[in-house]
Structure 1
Amino acid sequence: MTLDLGLLLVCILGVGFLAQWLAWRVRLPAILFLLPAGILMGPVVGVLAPDRLLGPLLFPVVSLAVALILFEGSLTLRFSELREIGRAVRGLVTYGAVIAVFLLGVAAHYLAGLSWEVALLFGALTCVTGPTVIAPMLRTVRPNARIANTLRWEGIVIDPLGALFAVLVYEAIVSRHQGHTIGVFLAVVASGVLVGLLAAWTLAFLLRRQMIPEYLRNYGTLVAVLLAFTVSNAITHESGLLAVTIMGIALGNMRGVHIDDILDFKENLTTLLVSTLFILLAARLSWPLPDGVLWSGIVIFLVAQLVVRPVTAVLASIGSALSWRERALIAWIAPRGIVAAAVSALFALKLEALGMPGARQLVPLVFILIIGTVVVQSATARPLARWLNVAEPDPNGVLIYGSDQAARVVARALVDAGFHVVVADEHWDGIRQARMEGLPTFFGFPASSYAERHLDLTGVGRLLAMSNNRERNALSCVYYRQEFGRGKVYRLTNDDAQATDGRVQLGGDLAAPALFEAGMTHERFLERLADGWRIKSTRLTATFDWPNFIEQYGSPTVLLFGVEEKGALRVASEKRELEPRPGWTVIALVPPEAAP
């Protein structure tokens, strides 16, 4: 079965998008859907043959894509974060990773028959757990804060470090196989490091001095990364991957270089590349797999899951504050992801070209381990967390940005209704008053880089932007829309003009649903509180329903929230009028003459 080339390329992009969308919808890692999609399109159905489709372009395309993936991953590593992470994370990403490489290499050598060189490369590739697989799994598992932070930081830190380690192992193998001396290997490493540092310094110099216009920064960075990769390879063969990894680490740690837009662009580009790359690489697999590969891969997965990860987790957490229950869950969760799949496929292509024995087994073994860890851990981690009593409840908590009287009375009403609330603000006076009232607080702007590291959002699933700063409210909504979802962020309109005048209304992605009712503004809310209005919480019944509530407290009553019988919070907004039912608890702002 053959398809037109253009139609086939569009199908690859479309299938990749559907896999990513499905992963987002069911909150599972996208790899779980991308790899089977590639196998289905390739060896099973036969519509996709990457070697025939791309021909001599296959190797350069894969190489450049992997270079961009490694650069994006290494760009997120901050040396300052290495000092801030706990003892357990430091153990997992240092000597724990070395132990994992050795044990996985031993398993691959004795169980799959790989040479020691390829087996150690397998270990270096599969010791990595990345944030792209950890993040969706944590959203599903919802462990407590210490477990979530440990696993999240492990994925963030070990992703670029593991890639760097795998590249070094690969360079050593190639140098030895080609009869190169240790001097040649050191020259490869030195070339990659120097080219990477020079490229990072040059790009940073241009960015700091505004020599690249804003709209060309992403384009220029893309060109710089690919140029560093190809120039380094031209100077010293096979040093390009090391160069882009060093370039990303260096650029991400330079002061005065604003890389947020670049990082966003690279993340979007990486999503596209990963989706396309995984489908192409999975389509190259022989199916059914060669004799012995499937069973040896399954046994290696069992060893990795039941022996390697528990051993490394226990040794790495010695002396930490983690309980045995927390260590047990950490010892179970270690899904492999993007770096392992993408880099292993590239290395396999290169090693096959060199005639290295066992190179063809590398990719299927890595893919079996990826699929095994993602499937098994996604299916079992949540029940295990509950059994160990280390799982957090559903994210029904609320983050309130703002700490003036309006924000505090709303926070108090939600706390009294049994919800976890965090009041966040960069103004100390309001935060101090909130603390005096016994409210949980965070001193700082909730969309800041400081908040990324220190604001604990465990159990929190909504944002109410209620500060008196319109622009910061909008920024908070845009920021937390990615974290909580578009339907879970709200803002309190700041002035009457903003609510009615189209010339000053926020538009596009800046406009989150307005809280409570049409015309309700921050100033009006404060005025009503000053006039004696109070918040009233009442459980509705069949004999005292919402119309009875309105009749008792008056038609000016403003419904703020509804709490369903099962405890789910419903937020009243201008675009979503609530219809409280018997059994709900309503939280409303009632006039002073009606308040008891």
Structure 2
Amino acid sequence: MTFDVHQLDTFLLVGSGVTLLAILAVRFSAGLGLPSLLIYLLMGVALGEAGLGIEFQDASLAHALGFGALAIILAEGGLTTSWAAVRPAMRFGVALATLGVAISVGLMAVGAHYLLGLPWELAILLGAVCSPTDAAAVFSVLRVVPLPKRLTGVLEAESGLNDAPTVVLVTLVSSGAALDDGPLAVLGIISFELAVGVLSGYVFGAGGAWMMRRIALPSSGLYPLAVICLTFLAYGAAAYVHASGFAAVYVAALILGNSELPHRVATRSFAEGIAWLAQIGLFVMLGLLLSPNRITGETVFLAVTAGLMLTFVARPISVLVSSLLQGRPRLALRELTFISWAGLRGAVPIVLTTIPLAGGVESSEDLFDIVFVMVVIYTVLTGPTLPLVARVLRVARRSEPRGLDVEAAPLEKVAADLLQVAISPGSRMHGVEVGELRLPRGASVSLVIRDGEAVVPERRTVLRNGDELLVVTPRRQRDATEQRLRAVSSHGRLAQWAEG
């Protein structure tokens, strides 16, 4: 198959137009409280055989591109997740991503076999692909729902970690290995892949952070590229030894995103941009893969029934059982109820169905159609109701205090770092004088940017919310300088007394 210049021109024209429309659709979907994935999926259907007539039925290509897009989305999720917020909820999040997924798969498989009459292989696949939550779908809705950190931490940890075990399970079932080897062998394989994947992510994340802090690249734009490449090195290394690349990429990104790297804010912005591009391409591609003429009344019935079992039986029970393993402080029943309702499904279940579809599993097309319809219906039903459910359950907060945003750039010739500090609205640095910061010896505030104007500060200059500070610090004092700035941001003038 050849690809000439005319085809390239057409591809660029259509691709850029679709991408621009998808970007503009984000504002529309956010206003309605709907995950943007629904609009992207419908755009793909409109471009497909039922609309403009673009044919796309290559399940193997969809499988490969889908996994690549999910890796990018997980990398962005790890880079933008605060470890301080996730750490207290990590125990519960890991329980949901492992034990919770196992319970959900079991309940869904039994229900699909005995209530819907599906054969065991298809029933287990349905339970496996529907059990993980989708980070992109969850966070696109949670952006408009202010929640306490203990809830967002659980949802972030679960969404970032539950893809890995389900990918392994779906692959084993699709290949027939799960039914041949038995549940203990499957459990052993999943445990091995997760453990080695996490180890790979830790090695490349920690090693990459150590390297990035000690090199000076000639352009600031190279730092985001280097960080993204490090996360994919972790993915590739894990996949090469048949371990979980998804666990590796998320752990590596989580470590890198919480390390004090040069141009960290720019790196996060770059990762967010390519993650949006990956989401757009992924959802439009999955919409193209759907054949609307295959959707029948039976398909809709199976999708609705499976969604009811998942939403009102499997998900609540898995959350309740997993909560027995949570640490202190324990979440209240109303908070667990919200976590159950907020377990949105998005691209991940649909992407997982491409595994049996590419493997030629019997009735895999029916599985794809059922999951597609189920995701659309229940995202429409649950997504817009999250703000209301949060208010009814009294888990919403008007505002959550924000920390201090610090970006660093190396000054190699003088062995120093330039810190760009943004004073957030919730910071207690507001009203503090520059002299009261009491920075370590050699560190100083060289410039204050206020309302777009640069001001050279004096000791009596009073800082305000919204200010940006340029702080020069010797490299050996950088950690102490950042620690002091964060202490003042948290406690104000009483920082030294509070720390003591």
TM-score normalised by structure 2 residue count: 0.66
Q: Secondary structure at the match of 1:299?
A: helix
Greater helix proportion: 2
Query: Could you say which structure has the greater relative contact order, defined with CA pairs below 8 angstroms and 6 or more residues apart?
Result: 2
Map of 1:550-561 to 2, 5 A cutoff? none
Q: Which residue of 2 aligns with 1:476?
A: 423
* Residue 252 (structure 1) aligns with: 254
Tell me the percent identity. 22
Against the structure 1 CA distance between its residues 227 and 49, is the aligned structure 2 distance closer, same or farther, given a 3 Å change threshold? farther
Once residues 385 and 191 of structure 2 are traced to their aligned partners in structure 1, the CA distance between those partners, rounded to angstroms, is 46
> Aligned pair 1:170/2:170, yes or no?
yes
Instruction: Give 1:163 shift.
Output: 1.0
1:377 corresponds, among 364, 369, 382, to: 382
Letter in 2 for 1:361: D
Deviations 1:42-88 (A, max 9, x none): 24313433358xx9865544443233233334556788766512886
Distance 1:126 1:372 in 2: 13
Aligned pair 1:102/2:102, yes or no?
no
Which residue of structure 2 lines up, in the alignment, with residue 358 of structure 1? 363
Tell me which moved more, 296-305 or 55-64: 55-64
Q: 1:16/1:95 Cα in 2 relative to 1: closer, same or farther (>3 Å)?
A: same
Pair 267,133 (structure 1): closer, same or farther in 2 beyond 3 Å: same
CA contact (8 A) 1:38 1:281 kept: yes
Instruction: Report matched runs for 1:426-445 at 5 Å.
Output: none
Structure-2 separation of matches of 1:321 and 1:58: 41
> Aligned equivalents of 1:120 and 1:67: distance in 2?
24
Question: Which residue number corresponds to residue 159 of structure 2?
Answer: 159
* Aligned twin of 1:308: 314
Q: 1:69 aligned to 2:73? A: yes
What displacement does 1:224 show?
Answer: 4.5
Residue number in structure 2 paired with 1:123: 127
- Whichever residue aligns with residue 162 of structure 1, its letter is N
Q: CA deviation at 1:92?
A: 4.0
In structure 1, stretches of 5+ residues that fail to align are 400-421, 425-444, 450-470, 484-490, 496-503, 515-521, 527-596
Deviations 1:311-365, CA, capped at 9 Å, x for gaps: 2344444697555544444443322234334x42xxx334333221232234333
Q: Give the Cα separation in 2 of the matches to 1:512 and 1:492.
A: 19
* Superposed counterparts of 1:284-299, under 5 Å: 284-291=289-296, 292-299=298-305
User: How far did residue 370 of structure 1 move?
Assistant: 2.6
Q: Is the 8 A contact 1:15 1:37 kept in 2?
A: no
Contact residue 145 and residue 387 of structure 2 kept, 8 A: yes
**1:185-208 deviations in Å (ceiling 9; x for gaps):** 689948867765665466445324
Aligned pairs for 1:24-63 (under 5 A) are 24-51=30-57, 60-63=64-67
**2:222, 2:315 → 1: CA distance?**
44
Alpha carbons 2:171, 2:355 under 8 Å: kept: no
- Paired AA for residue 70 in structure 2: V
- Gap change, CA 1:171 and 1:305, over 3 Å in 2: closer
Question: What is the number of equivalent residue pairs in this alignment?
Answer: 422
Q: How does 1:120-199 map to 2 (within 5 A)?
A: 120-138=124-142, 140=144, 145=148, 149-150=150-151, 152-173=152-173, 176-177=176-177, 189=193, 199=204
How does 1:563-574 map onto structure 2 within 5 Å? none
Letter in 2 for 1:14: L
Q: CA distance change for structure 1 residues 85 and 28 in 2, over 3 Å: closer, same or farther?
A: same
Structure 2 gaps, min length 5: 1-6, 408-417, 435-446, 464-500
* Deviations 1:568-592, CA, capped at 9 Å, x for gaps: xxxxxxxxxxxxxxxxxxxxxxxxx
AA matched with 2:157? V
Aligned 1:201-280 pairs, distance under 5 A: 203-204=208-209, 206-210=211-215, 214-226=220-232, 229=235, 235=240, 239=242, 242-250=244-252, 252-253=254-255, 258=261, 260=264, 261-280=266-285
Closer, same or farther: CA 48–383 of 1 in aligned 2, 3 Å:
same
| TM-score in terms of structure 1 length | 0.57
